[in-house]
Amino acid sequence: MGRLFGTDGVRGLANRDVTAELALDLSVAAAHVLGDTGAFEGHRPLAVVGRDSRASGEFLQAAVVAGLASAGVDVVLVGVLPTPGVAYLTDVLGADIGVMLSASHNPMPDNGIKFFSRGGHKLDDAIEDAIEQRLDEPWDRPTGADVGRVRLDLEAGVRYEDHLLGTLPHRLDGLSIVVDCANGAASSIAADVYTRAGASVTTIHAEPDGLNINEGCGSTHLDDLIAAVRAHGADAGIAHDGDADRCLAVDADGNVVDGDHILAIIAMAMSRRGELAGNTVVATVMANLGFMIAMRKAGIAVVETGVGDRYVLEAMRAGGFVLGGEQSGHVVMSEFATTGDGILTALHMLAEVAESGQTLGELAARITKLPQVLINVKGVDRQALDGSAAVLDAVAEAEAELGEDGRVLLRPSGTEPVIRVMVEAATHDQAQSIADRLAAVVSASLAVG
């Protein structure tokens, strides 16, 4: 059996892979492990629990609450709220555990469970492994007044909104924006936050019904946002994913502004204001070479990490850096958040548009990106990737062909059962050709069964 936790918690098909029984058992094990680390010492333990808008989040939330309360942990329910909102509230409420039920950008049938420790930080691998090892172990159950109590915090969303607005370096007055909420966790607060920041706001896909999250909308499906920005003559469009821990953007002409562009815009703004610690930004190995070149020209150093915002966070903490992110739109601003926050990111990107007097398209044009092709190869043995001579030979041949004008990256996904083949090259046709060739080799060499 493989490791239960991926790069971003436990994730899979709800009620098949991620079941009520698993949610309950994980919550009990998390309570025991975090209790053993001394998190509960001297006080009654407290947890914050939130979810995105998926229908399955309703029964999974009930299971998580049952597990925590049965283990003697008091629970504060904050309802449908972005993942970074749950992390923030875990910190400000002094909670020992935070739990977010979400599969982020994945399709509606999926769901996931993310844990936060005291302070709103994602768990490190060792603690996740300890939780997994203690699943289904015998334990002494509290009784009477020692069982956990459960309450609903109706002001949680407003408290999170106030925090976001308190971080703004410049108001958004005069900007008109369209926001795609992916029928997810952003639907309840995004319009209010951007409006309070001074923008004129039009929302789309902000009517979640439990079944329509991420369905043809949000940060993985930008067509509707592009059309709406053009139709409304807006200055920009913002697309969130299901749990609003990321954002992508669209400029006034409908051009996509991805995570590399957004990270660069914010990095250069912070560097100009003297707020970028070490004049350094943290990015993953998936960052486009064009991003690296733009940062070098701006005098900003780049530290590279593996894919996943948890690894970006680890590098930021280790180096004392305050900004990092991913091409997918996860951006971490550690002065204000312990994890990626899509609304926070968009606010700061739009603040630079408003303050600089330049359009979003003009700011994004500072980064000239190399064509990049990403292919997800399914039905392969992910464990055999590193030991395949055929794959290694194919990669070496591709790298020799690209030289200094491109690169190749093969890696197993941390959230899906696929191997990602990424190629950057001087032209899109070359990148596509090499990526297709590599994907075929991976598929043939590592085929399951």
**For the segment 306-331, what is each residue's pLDDT rounded down to a tens digit?**
887 778 988 999 999 999 999 999 99
Q: Any idea how long the chain is?
A: 449
Q: What is the DSSP letter of 311?
A: H
The whole-number average pLDDT for the span 371-381 is 89
| pLDDT above 50 (res 209) | yes
pTM, entire model? 0.89
How many Cα atoms are found within 13 Å in the side-chain-facing hemisphere of 244? 33
Residue 444 has pLDDT above 60, yes or no: yes
H-run or E-run covering 163: helix 156-165
State yes or no: is 104 an active-site residue: yes
- Give yes or no for residue 304 having a pLDDT over 70: yes
Cα distances (Å, whole numbers) of residue 129 to 5, 110, 158, 228: 8, 22, 35, 45
Q: How far apart are CA 188 and CA 207, in angstroms?
A: 9
Q: Which listed residue (53, 102, 104, 188) is catalytic?
A: 104
Distance between alpha carbon 145 and the CA centroid of its chain, in Å? 38
The structure tokens 């399951």 sit at 448
CA distance 201 to 392: 50
DSSP string for residues in 84-95: HHHHHHHHHTT-
Please, what are the domains in the chain? 10-154 (3.40.120.10), 160-364 (3.40.120.10), 372-445 (3.30.310.50)
Q: Are 250 and 225 contacting, i.e. CB atoms less than 8 angstroms apart?
A: yes
pLDDT for res 415: 67
H/E stretch holding 122: strand 121-122
Mean pLDDT of the chain: 94
Among 74, 89, 80, residue whose Cα is nearest residue 31: 74
Helix (H, G, I), strand (E, B) or coil at 161: helix
Residue 350 C-beta-side C-alpha neighbours within 13 Å? 36
Q: What are 239's two structure tokens?
A: 């697309």
Residues in a beta bridge with 115? 99
**Span 232-278, pLDDT tens digits:** 999 999 999 999 999 999 999 999 999 999 999 999 999 999 999 99
Give CA 429 to chain center in angstroms: 30
In this structure, the strands spanning 97-101 and 418-424 are: unpaired
Residue 83, both tokens: 């993942």
For the segment 73-94, the average pLDDT, to the nearest whole number, is 97
Cβ-proximal residues to 143 (8 Å cutoff; 6+ apart), any chain: none
More confident residue, 121 or 416: 121
Helix (H, G, I), strand (E, B) or coil at 305: strand
Instruction: Report residue 197's pLDDT band, with 50, 70 and 90 as the boundaries.
Output: very high
Among 162, 345, 343, smallest CA distance to 269 is for 345
Q: Give backbone dihedrals phi and psi of 5, rounded to 5 degrees, phi first.
A: -85, 135
Q: What is the largest CA-CA distance in the chain?
A: 70
Q: Round to whole Å and give the CA distance between 201 and 189.
A: 12
Q: What is the pLDDT of residues 156-176, one digit of tens each?
A: 999 999 999 999 999 999 999
Residue 143 CA to residue 372 CA, distance in Å, equals: 58
Q: Band of the pLDDT at 386, cuts 50, 70, 90?
A: confident
